[in-house]
A and B are shown apart, each in its own frame.
Chain A
Amino acid sequence: MKKGFWNEIKKYRIAYYFVLPTFLAMLTLHIFPVFQAFYMAFLKLNQFTISQYLMAPFVGFDNFYQILFNPESPIRIGLMESVRNTIIYTIVVTIGTTAFGMLVALMVNRKMRGQNIFRALFLFPWVVPTYVTGLLWGFMWQKEIGVINLVLVDWLKLLPSKPFWLLGPNTMWAIIIPTVWRYWPLSMLMLLAGMQSIPEELYEAAEIDGASGWRKFWSITFPMLKPVWAILLLFGLIYNTYSFNIVIMMFGFGAGYPGEWGDLMMTNIFRNTFQQWAFGVGAAASVLLLIVMVVIVNFWFRFYQKAEQESK
């Protein structure tokens, strides 16, 4: 048995050589830091103790207690709001990107002239860097000089007066819409590739049976695309929960606090960590976030596998 194992390893020597550099890189810059972060979550690591590094005072679960249960802790300021915002933001953005991507993918998947040009043009927002997206939309959302209020209020007269978009609950829209705008082309691209791999015969058969366009979508396109949109939903959940650039660039033009309706988990943790130098608390918060994420991904896999089995 043991000899067989060594033989296996010898047989695949080249594979190990190839994987080794990556393995080492990931060991030093992924695995090692992540374990440190887990350990730091139990340390009182702030500007006074940072020089002691991992020798900083061990405080057990105090950091977690401060975050979760101590309402008077300074770290808690704005944290619950940011959790609420992140949940709303992630769900709306993920579903919005996928749905909007699906809609446009269906549109450009039709046989028409200039199909390639349309597809390329629809990809434009996705190439705009996210920090530019935040900056640009932050400019467009401005109350008096922003083009959005200009169009909505002055031209279309949809609203009676110019609202503040970057203040109060409206902020949710102000961060959701740019994110959807930035990311839906990627969903479109993936879904389009999926649509093109659906065999044409299915649609022909459905047409013979007299199925409407709507029916064809729900009975053929949507289920056939399940691997694609399921992956999109999963990755959307992960990336949008960790969204940072757009929000941080949009408010106070880069340096300010996004307000209680615009603050996300990542901006909150980042602020606590690198502006208040509460590294231990930051590590604890990111550990909590990771745990939540693992649970979500786990649920997603369960759901996906179950649905997969049902369909078989």
Chain B
Amino acid sequence: MRLTYYMQQRIVKRLIDVVMVLLLIVTLFPIFWMVFSSFKSNTEILLGQIPFGKAGNDVLYLEARGRSLYAFTSDGGLNKFDIDSGALLKHDSVKSLATSFLADDHNVWIGTSDKGLMQISLDDFSKKRGFPVDIRGYDINKVVSTSLADDGKYIWMAFQQKDIETVLKFDKSKRAFVGEYSFESALSPAQATSLLRDGGLLWVGTNKGLVALKAENGEVFKTFSLGSLGLPPVDIRDLAKHSGSLFFATTRGVFEFSMSTGRIEKTLDSKSGLISDRVNRIIFSGNTLIAATNSGVSALDLQKGTVRNFEAAFSPVEGSKDMNKLVKADVFGLFEKDGRLLCGASSGRISKIGLGSFAVEKTYTARDGHTVVRWRNYVDLWKNINFGLYLRNSLIICGITMVLAMIFATLAAYALARFNFPGSNFFSIGVLATQMIPAIMYLIPLYIMFTKFTLLTGVPMKGTYFGMIMVYSAFFIPFSIWILRGFFAAIPVELEEAARIDGCSPFQVFWYIVLPLAVPGIIATGIYVFLTAWDELMFAWVLTNADTMTIPVGIRLFVGNYQNRFDLMMAAATVATIPVMVLFFLLQKHIVKGLTAGAVKG
């Protein structure tokens, strides 16, 4: 079948359309990728994970009240189940980092690294209140975990972060942080990994040992280093008290510490029958120690020494691509009620186990963690590197440069476009010739000139706004003249001649007749100069200092210092791009007209 000419034309047209759209997609993809990556965490980028990640929903804390089962997950998720039917009654999320939980009569208290301490009412998760933490050296990204302890009146909160050895005291009735207890001691530097409030003392489990603080004034009462206790280097991840002894849950098993003798009495690990050495949490049920480990739950009768292990409840979640769900469950949350043990494990898995039978009676599943879009990258950008300063410097330098260059160039361009004065040809060739000289040829002498000038006169040049603006203005004048000439040439001479006949002086002609007509062209050229100055790296690199650094220099410096923080790099790139992009597309028509007018005339 032969296609008609018309059909052929249409097919070709469609094909070109398709190619054009594909090209557009390929062209815009890098920009999209830059913005997209700036909202991901660096770990996701380094793992090559394409979609936005979900926050882990490991069940950290369980609480059963009447018919309700509360399960709190590591992403700040709050789940309320009906304990009998297993139905999820209510779900909410505070979307937090490094989370720990503590429930009292009416509220659940959430310790987070990014939102401080939060209070949420237990019955319907409705009333949320946040109490931000503001202590020296505190960095939400460096906090590994938080721990909470309470005694009815106060809540204590500690952070596992390098260089922070402080326990915060929060008054529940005043609803405010009322004290900062430092646990700096012979163990320093130590990082708090667990807390226990008992008697008049506050026990802080650290990665170096145990510190006891007096609860009322925060004095360091006693310290026990891991070495003096005869323990290997471990983190004390949980503390529990049972019949005069303190029990440490660590990564090498559970240790019983006698408060009276100050010595380790007993070691309970895989040799004594525990399912694993890595213990996350311990509770007691009568004389039975129940340990949540990284591969299941063990119940150990302290008197008889018998152990019952349980792992079947946490078989892999079927049909899941999530790595976490395929491995054995890491158990974090434990709650014992009426002979039933509730276990909360990784990836939102919760099981109810009969303590007598050690068989699963019911399972629950907490809601998935929230999708993580990291707006925080932008906050970090402002905090970690002085981006606000760079932005301000860039705006000041580029803005004033734009104005100055436009004043100079407008005058010169008008003179060159209208008057054929002696030397005008020479001048316009000179203007064009400067475009041919490599920038570094000005830069080397200017750099030495600036240093020398400051030495001779004491007036600072290098690293000042004035020096940068002067250099930039001079640098962009020739190009501006070249574009503006086209604009002035396009304004009809007859207008000016008429004005002259009416008695205007040459300057009045320029001021009242020509200038108003040329304003669109001047604005377009000005914006173009602004964009080019915004883009300039080499001069700024050499001629600015820490106080007057512009964005390109700042980014270059930052990129050198944070080699692998791609998330922050892309956030910085986005912030540097967006202002110019907006500016350009607001004034796009003018700029395009201005640029092409010069080009088409040749």
Contact = CB atoms under 8 A, between A and B. Distances in A.
Interface of A: 5, 8-9, 11-12, 14-19, 21-23, 25-26, 28-30, 32-34, 36-37, 40, 45, 50, 53, 104, 107-108, 110, 112, 118, 120-125, 127-132, 135-137, 139-140, 144-145, 147, 150, 181, 186, 189-190, 192-194, 197, 227-228, 231-232, 238, 241-242, 244-245, 248-249, 252-255, 266, 269-270, 273-274, 279, 282-283, 286-287, 289-290, 293-294, 297
Given A129-B580, A253-B560, A22 B408 contact: yes
Interface in B523-540: 531, 534-535, 537-538
A145 B445 contact: no
A129 B411 contact: no
6 contacts: A5-B422, A120-B588, A125-B27, A181-B30, A231-B602, A248-B537
Contact of A9 (B421, B440, B541, B552): B421
Contact of A18 (B412, B566, B600): B412
B6 interface: no
Contact of A12 (B34, B412, B419): B419
B400 to A, nearest CB: 14
B478 A26 contact: yes
Closest 7 CB pairs of A and B: A193-B596, A12-B421, A29-B474, A18-B415, A15-B419, A255-B560, A33-B445
Given A25-B474, A289-B438, A273 B444 contact: yes
B177 interface: no
B55 interface: no
Nearest to A45: B448
A24 B244 CA distance: 89
B600 A194 contact: yes
Contacts of B83: none
Given A14-B419, A37-B441, A227-B602, 14 more contacts: A21-B411, A25-B408, A25-B473, A30-B474, A33-B446, A34-B442, A37-B442, A136-B570, A231-B602, A253-B569, A255-B559, A274-B542, A286-B441, A290-B436
B229 interface: no
B409 A130 contact: no
A188 to B, nearest CB: 10
B23 A135 contact: no
Given A5-B422, A136-B570, A140-B33, A107 B445 contact: no
A140 B201 CA distance: 55
Interface residues of B, number: 95
A122 B596 CA distance: 16
B409 A121 contact: no
B577 A139 contact: no
B239 to A, nearest CB: 40
B585 A23 contact: no
A26 B434 contact: yes
Contacts of A139: 34, 37, 566, 569-570
Interface string B580-597: 110011001000100111
Given A15-B415, A132-B577, A228 B599 contact: yes
Contact of A30 (B28, B33, B424, B442): B442
Nearest to B478: A26
Contacts of B438: 241-242, 266, 286, 289-290, 293
B599 A8 contact: no
B421 A8 contact: yes
B246 interface: no
A48 to B, nearest CB: 14
Contacts of A144: 48
Nearest to A253: B559
Contacts of A5: 422
Given A14-B507, A110-B16, A238-B435, A22 B481 contact: yes
Interface of B: 13, 16-17, 19-20, 23-24, 27-28, 30-31, 33-34, 37, 45-48, 407-409, 411-412, 414-416, 418-419, 421-422, 424, 427, 430-431, 434-442, 444-449, 451-452, 470-471, 473-475, 477-478, 481, 506-507, 510, 531, 534-535, 537-538, 541-542, 552, 555-557, 559-560, 563, 566, 569-570, 572-573, 576-577, 580-581, 584-585, 588, 592, 595-597, 599-600, 602
Given A231-B602, A248-B537, A33 B414 contact: no
B552 A137 contact: no
A33 B381 CA distance: 38
Contacts of B33: 136, 140, 147
A245 B585 contact: no
B537 A118 contact: no
Nearest to A108: B20
A121 B427 contact: no
Given A12-B422, A40-B444, A19 B415 contact: yes
A15 B424 contact: yes
**A-side binding surface: helix, strand, loop or mixed?**
helix
A135 B33 CA distance: 12
A42 B408 CA distance: 34
A8 B588 CA distance: 41
B444 A125 contact: no
Contacts of A45: 448
Contacts of B585: 120, 127
B381 to A, nearest CB: 14
B580 to A, nearest CB: 6
A112 B473 CA distance: 42
B600 A14 contact: no
B530 to A, nearest CB: 12
Nearest to B558: A254
A53 B448 contact: yes
Given A107-B16, A124-B27, A129 B534 contact: yes
Given A130-B535, A189-B596, A136 B28 contact: no
A282 B443 CA distance: 10
Nearest to B411: A18
A127 B16 contact: no
B577 A128 contact: yes
A19 B412 contact: yes
B24 A131 contact: no
Nearest to A146: B48
Contacts of A249: 537, 555-556, 559
B441 A34 contact: yes
B575 to A, nearest CB: 10
Contacts of B510: 14, 18
B499 to A, nearest CB: 14
Nearest to B507: A14
A136 B573 contact: yes
Given A15-B424, A145-B48, A193 B556 contact: no
Given A18-B412, A122-B27, A139-B37, A190 B596 contact: yes
A128 B577 CA distance: 6
